[in-house]
Amino acid sequence: MRTQTTHSPGPLGTATRPALSGRGLVKRYGNQHALAGVDIDIQQGEAVAIVGPSGSGKTSLLHVLAGILPVDSGEVLLSGNRIDNLNETKRSELRRTEFGFVFQSGMLVAELSAEENAALPLLLGGMSRSKAIADARQWLDRLGLGGKGTRRPGELSGGEAQRVAIARALAHRPSVIFADEPTGALDTRTGGDTMNALLGAAAENGAAVVIVTHDRDLAQSVPRTVTIRDGRIDTAVRQS
């Protein structure tokens, strides 16, 4: 487990430091403002849902915070350190070590078994194959997939495949998990179960989780909701 020990003291000695912050984030595609100045703080271990209509900028925000997409202006800080100005090699390393990702439809490697898929970030991090597979198996067990580790993605249901993706996102114990419409390809009930599996596993690991969804019902199970509209945080909507 990641231990949640001391928060770094702020300038006044007592303030906690957010895990991840965006300051004045602007992202344009040509004339189109995908993000028109977004400020957001995500605390260590906090779960936040980003909701908003299609095209409002949710995915752009996620990608900017995760260092996948460069910003046109603004800053992204991880534990108080700027990450938006790192070069691509450093950002890629950061994504591999500090972040975990769950996408709408698994993005699992079809040729690999469930446990091999879940073990990938550990193998990329240099762990031995036997240890990585053993760890991955534990994650799969915790997500209710015990005994299914040797199946390939094609032999799993949609909900099971998403839980493999969750195991993969958590296995290297990242500080922040990003999930973009993780339940978008699932029926309502499986979507709810998957959301709970994600929230539970992230909480157990002390990882913050940022979940993009356009489904307000699903967002209700997340403690804090941030609404985005036309590339801006909608402050008219209650934020928690």
Ligand X SMILES: Nc1ncnc2c1ncn2[C@@H]1O[C@H](COP(=O)(O)OP(=O)(O)O)[C@@H](O)[C@H]1O
Binding positions for ligand X, rule: CB under 6 A: 29, 32, 34, 52, 54-60
Q: Which of 21, 59, 194, 213 binds Mg ion (CB under 5 A)?
A: 59
Q: Which residues contact 194 (CB under 8 A, 6 or more apart)?
A: 159, 162, 163, 166, 182, 183, 186
Is residue 60 a contact residue for Mg ion (CB under 5 A)?
no
Which region among 11-19, 53-61, 156-164, 200-208 touches Mg ion (by CB under 5 A)?
A: 53-61
Packing angle, helices 188-205 and 129-142, rounded to 10: 120
x-or-dash string of contact with Mg ion, 125-154, rule CB under 5 A: ------------------------------
**What is each CA distance from 112 to 132, 152, 153, 164, in whole angstroms?**
14, 6, 8, 12
What does 32 bind: Mg ion, ligand X, none (CB cut-off 5 to 8 Å by kind)? ligand X
Token pair recorded at residue 82: 């700027």
# binding residues, Mg ion (CB under 5 A): 2
Which region among 17-25, 51-59, 72-80, 85-93 touches Mg ion (by CB under 5 A)?
A: 51-59
Q: Which residues contact 39 (CB under 8 A, 6 or more apart)?
A: 22, 23, 24, 25, 233
Token pair recorded at residue 106: 């698994």
Which segments of the chain are extended strands (E)?
20-29, 32-42, 47-51, 73-78, 81-82, 99-102, 176-180, 208-213, 224-229, 232-233
Rounded distance between C-alpha atoms, residue 206 and residue 96, angstroms: 17
Is residue 205 a contact residue for Mg ion (CB under 5 A)?
no
State in angstroms the smallest separation of the CB of 45 from ligand X.
25
State in angstroms the smallest separation of the CB of 62 from ligand X.
8
Is residue 213 a contact residue for Mg ion (CB under 5 A)?
no
Which region among 16-24, 52-60, 63-71, 93-101 touches Mg ion (by CB under 5 A)?
A: 52-60
Nearer to ligand X (CB atom), residue 115 or residue 180: 180
Residues within the interface to Mg ion (CB under 5 A): 58-59
